Each structure stands twice: as C-alpha cells, then as structure tokens.
Amino acid sequence: MDQLIEDQRSYFRTGETRTLKFRKNQLKRLRNAIEANTSSILQALKMDLNKPEYEAYASEIAFLYQEIDHAVRYLKRWMKPRRAKTPLVFAPASSSVLPEPYGITLIIGPWNYPFQLIIAPLIGAIAAGNTSILKPSELAPHTSRVIAEIIDKTFSPSYIAVVEGGAETTQNLLDEKFDYIFFTGGTAVGKVIMEAAARHLTPLTLELGGKSPVIVTDDADSDTAAKKIVWGKFINAGQTCLAPDFVLVQESIRENLIERVAHYIRAFYGENPQKSHYSRIINQRHFERLSKMMDRGRIVAGGEMDASDLYIAPTVFEGISLADPIMKEEIFGPLLPVLSFQTLDEAISVVNTFAKPLALYLFTKNRESRNRVIHETSSGGLCINDTVIHVGNYFLPFGGVGESGLGVYHGKDGFDTFSHLKSVFKKSSRWDIPFRYPPYRRSVTFLRRLFE
C-alpha cells in the first residue's frame, strides 16, 4: 500500500494528469471500459443484490454515461481560470481563481449501488486531474471484483488502482496520507472517516443518508404521489440513501393514499414480489436488523419475509409513533411507515424534530405550502412532486447537510469538489503605493477615507 501511494504521488508530480487532453482521454477510456463490461457488471449486481437488469442498468450504468459525456463536453470550460474582481485600492492588479487538482484521492464506496457510487466520484476525480485509489465495498464482493478487473485492465495502478478488502483494509488506507477523501456510506462510519482524515488535515466529502421524509398535502394528486413514493421507496428493496423513509400524509386523504400505495405495490411487483423483479436484502445482518423493526404498528400491505432468500416484501405500516424503533434510525430497507397530520405546521414540526435528511419530498399543488416547506425546513435536497429522480440532474449539486453529509458532487460540482480553487492575485510592477510601507506618515483618517 505504501508503494502504491508513493507510485501515484510520483506519477502525479509528472504533471501528466493536468492537461485537458489527458483528462478527456481518460474519461473516454472509462466510458468504453464500462460499455465493454456491461454484461459482467449487471451479472455481478444480480449476484450481490438480485438487481433486475433494467433497474441495474438505469441506476448504475446509464447514469454514469450521462455524467461522463457531460464532463467531456464542458471540461475545457471548467478548467479555465475564473476571473474575479479586484478592489480599487489594490489597483493596478488582476485576480482569478484557478481550479487545480488535489493530488492523490481515496474514494470509498458503499454496497447498495456498489458500481455507480464508486465510479461517479471517480469521474469527478479524473476530470479534476487527480490520481485515485478506489476501495469498493466488501459486502458486494462480486461487484467489487468486477470493478477491480475493469480498472486494472484500463488504467495503470500509478494512476488509478483498486484496493479490495474488509474493514481492516479500509483502516489501513485511512492510516495513510491522502490529498482528498470521498466517502459514501452510513453516518456512523462517516464519523470514523472524518476522524481519520482529521489526523492528516485531509479535506473530504461525506455522502451519507438519514430519514428522508415525504409530505403529502390534501390538495396533492394522491394517485401520482402513491406511484412515485412506491417507485422511490422500493427500488433496490429500499436500500437507497435517497429512499423515502417515512410518509406524512394529511389525515383527510390518508386512507386513499394508503390504498393507492398498496395498489402500486401490486402493480409493480405482482401478488408475490418474491417471484418478481425485486431486489434482496444485502446480507443476514441487515435482514435481522430490519425484521426487528417490524414488531410495532399495523401492517397494511406486505409483511412477508424469507430469511433463507434474504427477502422482505414491500411493507407498509400504520399506527406508528415517533417513539417506535422504526422511527429512531434510517430504515434502509423496504419498510414504509405512514403517519398522518392535520395541518402543515404539524408536518413541518415533525420533519424538524429529526436530523437534517439527505432529501425531503413534498407532494402538493399549493404554492404557499411549497414555499413554506422550502423556507422552513432544511435538507440536502428538496424534491417536489417526485421522489429520488433529482439525483439524476447533473446540473444540480448533490449532497447532504449536517448528519446527512458534507460536500456535494455531480457535474461541475464534482469537478469543483476534487479541485482546489486556488486564488491568483497578479500585481502590476509599473506602480507601487508608497504609503503602505513604514515609516507611516499618513493618518488613520486617511486610511479610513481611502478604504471607504
């Protein structure tokens, strides 16, 4: 590991990664490698999470093509120095901001979208001119192996390398000094990553999660809301950092919304989701964690489990209180509590009792309700009249706030995340201000007038 990091540091110092031509070529090589290995990627995702091919391609591969193409198209513009104004008191001078690569980056990926969530940050790292060491999740071993094989065949390890292994391997990596760390995963591990980064004063991005709520007001189209909630919640069996965690629905439409949610579960996954295109829980530990959450409230849809198949049906609960275990942590599985509220004040109050989530979803047709939720709540992102889909807009920064994350990426924001924005101040040598130097012969009154 020491030698790998030293090799990358030596390669970065050659300056080869800094040129526009090099960066664009590497992005195109990455795209071609993904395309050439699509079948292997899809097979690995099937083996690790039972992901249906259609869903896996849309969420783990097609998304990356868009990110790469967008970066290649705009990279020249992103790399240019950005002009900045200069106060008149410093004239004659010019100012600019120059994006420059950090150096060696460490990218640690999660298991729920094990391909996309390690390659998407890599796109930003490549675009910004860095070298990278990737650490895929050991909980998705087949995908980890495919990632290692693709990267090994496509890039020199002195430029981009994969290190596989478990928690001990991750800790060994964190003991090393990197120039930037990018982590996607849970909040508890995020704190460990941040503590390790602090030992070297290494800047980092943490993409975490949280209990992302859904508010449905009585003027919303409950059928459309139900369809989009079911889609966003149960893709990947609820193992999505952006998945709706719980629903707050206005009491007057509660029964109708629950009926439509149950309808769309059947429409999407049939009477027996276990035999449909439906993902599985990642491992026995997470299966047991989720099963313990199911002993409170009243199940109004689903509830079936099969430990031997790591299967938990799409399940909807009523009669849940904020004190129940299912409301105490991020669910990260196919369990959907539905709570009701009388007024929007009450719904906003409930949302604000939780830590700031990665996403907040609002279904309403009312402009005043929309503006209140925008201005009276805080979340990594706010998605109105849809769920999850905003993550695909690479013109928007994506990231959390507070316990749901630190920093953003995607598109230009990914480039900026992996770039140090260096201030460049250029002073003309044709004229110098004599009164800046001692001995000081001007009064403070003169300075005050000058700066004002």
Amino acid occupying residue 190: G
pLDDT at 36: 98
Contacts of 311 (CB under 8 A, 6+ apart): 274, 280, 281, 304, 305
Q: Which residue has the tokens 């999505």?
A: 240
Any idea what the CATH number is for the domain that residue 350 is in?
A: 3.40.309.10
For residue 253, which of 282, 215, 283 has the smallest C-alpha distance? 215
- What angle, rounded to 10 degrees, do the helices at 20-36 and 116-128 form? 160
pTM flag (> 0.85)? yes
Judged against a pLDDT cut of 90, whether residue 434 lies above it is answered with no
For the chain, percent helix, then strand, then coil, each to nearest 5?
50, 20, 30
Assigned domain for 102 exists: yes
> Does residue 93 share a domain with residue 6?
yes
Amino acid occupying residue 101: P
- Total domain count, the chain: 2
pLDDT at 26: 98
The Cβ of residue 141 has, within 10 Å, a number of other Cβ atoms equal to: 16
Judged against a pLDDT cut of 90, whether residue 337 lies above it is answered with yes
Of the three residues 340, 370, 392, the one that is the final residue of a domain is: 392
CA distance 67 to 270: 34
CA distance 268 to 249: 22
Give tens-digit pLDDT for 356-407.
999 999 999 999 999 999 999 999 999 999 999 999 999 999 999 999 999 9
> Does residue 366 share a domain with residue 282?
yes
Residues 90-112 have a mean pLDDT of 96
pLDDT band at 447 (very low <50, low <70, confident <90, very high): confident
pLDDT band at 239 (very low <50, low <70, confident <90, very high): very high
CA distance 101 to 416: 9
> Does residue 314 share a domain with residue 298?
yes
Of the three residues 392, 413, 440, the one that is the final residue of a domain is: 392
Give tens-digit pLDDT for 305-322.
999 999 999 999 999 999
Bridge partners (DSSP) listed for residue 409: 398
Give tens-digit pLDDT for 126-177.
999 999 999 999 999 999 999 999 999 999 999 999 999 999 999 999 999 9
> Between 92 and 131, where is the model more confident?
131
Assigned domain for 260 exists: yes
> Does residue 180 share a domain with residue 306?
no
The CA-atom distances, in angstroms, between 293 and each of 98, 120, 288, 326 are 50, 32, 9, 5
**Catalytic one of 60, 67, 207, 403:** 207
Assigned domain for 334 exists: yes
Residues 329-348 have a mean pLDDT of 97
Assigned domain for 450 exists: no
Residues 262-288 have a mean pLDDT of 96
Q: What is the mean pLDDT of the chain?
A: 96
> Does residue 388 share a domain with residue 307?
yes
> Does residue 217 share a domain with residue 195?
no
Among the residue ranges 23-37, 338-352, 401-415, 432-446, the one predicted with the least confidence is 432-446
pLDDT at 91: 86
> Does residue 239 share a domain with residue 202?
no
R_g of the chain, CA atoms, integer Å? 25
Any idea what the CATH number is for the domain that residue 412 is in?
A: 3.40.605.10
Judged against a pLDDT cut of 90, whether residue 28 lies above it is answered with yes
pLDDT at 451: 78
Token readout for 392 is 């695909």
Percent of the chain with pLDDT over 90: 92
CA distance 358 to 345: 21
> Does residue 169 share a domain with residue 232?
no
> Does residue 234 share a domain with residue 203?
no
> Does residue 163 share a domain with residue 226?
no
Give tens-digit pLDDT for 65-85.
999 999 999 999 999 999 999
Q: What domain range includes position 354? A: 213-392
Instruction: Return the HEC string of 190-255.
Output: HHHHHHHHHHCCCCEEEECCCCCEEEECCCCCHHHHHHHHHHHHHHHHHCCCCCCCEEEEEHHHHH
Residues 215-228 have a mean pLDDT of 97
pLDDT at 450: 79
Can 368 be counted among the known catalytic residues? Answer: no
> Does residue 191 share a domain with residue 55?
yes
pLDDT at 449: 85
Q: What are phi and psi of 104, to 5 degrees?
A: -90, 125
Assigned domain for 137 exists: yes
> Does residue 113 share a domain with residue 97?
yes
CA distance 197 to 202: 5
pLDDT at 105: 98
**Catalytic one of 60, 67, 241, 383:** 241
Helix (H, G, I), strand (E, B) or coil at 358: coil
